[in-house]
Structure 1
Amino acid sequence: MVRPLVVGVDGSDASFLALDWAVDEAARHALPLRLVYASRWERYEDTALGLSLKRPAGEVLADNIVGAAVERANLRNADVNVSTQVLGDDPESVLLRESDHVSAVIVGSRGRGAFTGLLLGSVGLAVAGRAHCPVIVVRGDKAGLAGTHERVLLGVGDSAKGSEAVRFAFQEAAARGCALDAVRAWRCPAHESTDHPLLPGDPERYHEGRASAVLDEALEETAGEFPTVRVRRVTVEGPAHKVLLQRSAAADLLVIGAHRRDSHLGLQLGRVAHTALHHAECPVAVVPQPA
């Protein structure tokens, strides 16, 4: 069964940018695209209007937004199979339900109702932190949105061996025909010195070597399945969230894994993913990984 991509649309500029990106993504992977508009508009319509011959204003707004989105998608790529869904529920709940049976959920960095000072809308943050499928938050500068860097950036964490994030990053690089930068950040604790009893030699070289070993182990299994993908293994000293933010300026997509525990009901985003969703200079894919 082919699982479609889903993109949330709400009429905002950010959601239309996400729609453009989603159309291109659907074309790359030969997947159908479903446009989803969700709102609690029916709760707030005046009862008198509901009993009159006039259509509720919220329903008219939904139809207009979805109609404009379909037209925009068809103009961008008429070969992509586009369908629509309008639901009377809050967007967060709808997109989280969708995440159970789609390939990925794509959202804009800000919603129509987001406060001016927010760097990421509440819906995007909630969906990225709780969804059961990859969630791509479309953000960044024009070069990153246009895919002109021809580079996918993968942040490799402590337990990335065989992870869904690694596989997702390889799939994206293969579909785009571009390079994959796999980055592992490392730190040398200040209290470790050259005379540390458990660390013979240079502690910095020890930690860098460990980072390189983790990187090789994380990529080994999946790299063989994607022989055409050019992989650049990079170990960098520094905090992971800062390292990836800096490198996101030269990437078309940043891929980060996030552990999911069914018993945990709140947001499940580590510091790296949370920071990237708010500040990265390219679209960010958060890929869930069962704990």
Structure 2
Amino acid sequence: MDLPVVVGVDGSEESLRAVDWAADEAALRGAPLRMVYASLWERYEGSLIAQEVGKPAEEVMATDIMGAAERRAHLHHPELRVTTAVLADEPSFGLVNESSTARAMVLGCRGRNAVTELLLGSVSLAVAAHAHCPVIVLRGNSLKTAATAAPGRVVLGVAEKAAGSAAVRFAAEEAALRGLPLEAVRAWRRPAHSDTGHPLLAGGPAHAEEQEAAEVLEDALRDVPEGLEQHRRTAEGHARDVLVAASQDAALLVVGARRRSGRFGLQLGRVAHGVLHHAACPVAVVPETD
């Protein structure tokens, strides 16, 4: 099956920028693009727009939103295979369901006005937490697209058990598609009980923690293709803060989110949740299964 890149649209400028990124992503991968609009957004704004033009709300919203998104996608990629879907679902439910047959999903992080900004932010967070495929949320300067994000690099946040993980594979693939270097980053913390004031103990515990972080990096990247430019970096500090700092001049930040079977609620983890709120570049959240 030729799985598509899926993009969630709602008519906002943020979602149209997500269409730009998703169209580039699909073109880079030689994949079709699927644009999805969850029609229950109409309960917030559709009736007001429909009254102005004298048409049923569903017809107005679906026609106008999907038409604008499709024209946007074909603007730079006229050859792109595009399909559209209007779902009679809540956005988060509909998009998570779509993710089960998607190669990747792209979302903006804001809506059309002060009310829907909060709602769409919640949708992006919920989808990233529960999707079955990698979800790219356009944090930071979303005027950049998948094809124009260079110069830069793809930054991979390396978790404790990253060897052979889906996040590592996705980050390496994204870097190769863009012709960018891959920088793998592993944060480490100085032990709370270390006494760096004593000359015989100074640097001992910290060195051990840093060495362990370096070994995790080596193990994580052992299966990455040799032709891809790779960089490994350890940094002392909280993982969220280290990755947010690394995102300042990155094209894409990739983190894993472990899915635990039978667990309800958000399944992002503190690091993924934190970078989604604070990163300065698009963030890809890649599901990992136990």
Instruction: Flag the 1:245–1:2 CA change in 2: closer, same or farther, 3 A.
Output: same
RMSD: 2.5
- 1:117 deviates by 7.7
Query: 1-side partners of 2:281 and 2:80: how far apart?
Result: 23
- 1:200 deviates by 10
Amino acid aligned to 1:149: P
In the alignment, which residue of structure 2 is the partner of 1:244?
243
In the alignment, which residue of structure 2 is the partner of 1:6?
6
Instruction: Flag the 1:207–1:119 CA change in 2: closer, same or farther, 3 A.
Output: farther
Query: 1-side partners of 2:236 and 2:42: how far apart?
Result: 53
Q: Percent identity?
A: 54
- Secondary structure of the residue aligned to 2:100 is coil
State whether residues 154 and 181 of structure 1, in contact with CA within 8 Å, keep that contact through their aligned partners in structure 2. yes
- 1:67 deviates by 0.3
In the alignment, which residue of structure 2 is the partner of 1:40?
40
State whether residues 186 and 213 of structure 2, in contact with CA within 8 Å, keep that contact through their aligned partners in structure 1. yes
Instruction: Flag the 1:85–1:28 CA change in 2: closer, same or farther, 3 A.
Output: same
- Secondary structure of the residue aligned to 2:249 is coil
Amino acid aligned to 2:152: E
Gaps of 5+ in 2: none
In the alignment, which residue of structure 1 is the partner of 2:96?
96
- 1:113 deviates by 5.9
- List per-residue Cα deviations over 1:71-117 (Å, max 9, x = no partner): 11111211211111111111111111011111111110113366488
- 1:40 deviates by 2.0
| TM-score (norm: length of structure 2) | 0.89
Q: Does 1:255 align with 2:254?
A: yes
Q: Does 1:159 align with 2:158?
A: no
Q: In the alignment, which of 185, 194, 211 is matched to residue 213 of structure 2?
A: 211
In the alignment, which residue of structure 1 is the partner of 2:182?
180
In the alignment, which residue of structure 1 is the partner of 2:64?
64
- Secondary structure of the residue aligned to 1:128 is helix
Aligned length in residues: 280
- 1:61 deviates by 1.6
- Secondary structure of the residue aligned to 2:263 is coil
Amino acid aligned to 1:230: E
In the alignment, which residue of structure 2 is the partner of 1:150?
152
In the alignment, which residue of structure 1 is the partner of 2:265?
266
Query: 2-side partners of 1:269 and 1:66: how far apart?
Result: 30
- List per-residue Cα deviations over 1:118-144 (Å, max 9, x = no partner): 597111000001111111101212675
| TM-score (norm: length of structure 1) | 0.89
Amino acid aligned to 1:65: I
Instruction: Flag the 1:117–1:8 CA change in 2: closer, same or farther, 3 A.
Output: closer
Gaps of 5+ in 1: none
Query: 1-side partners of 2:188 and 2:92: how far apart?
Result: 35
Query: 2-side partners of 1:183 and 1:107: how far apart?
Result: 25
- Secondary structure of the residue aligned to 2:133 is coil
In the alignment, which residue of structure 1 is the partner of 2:194?
192
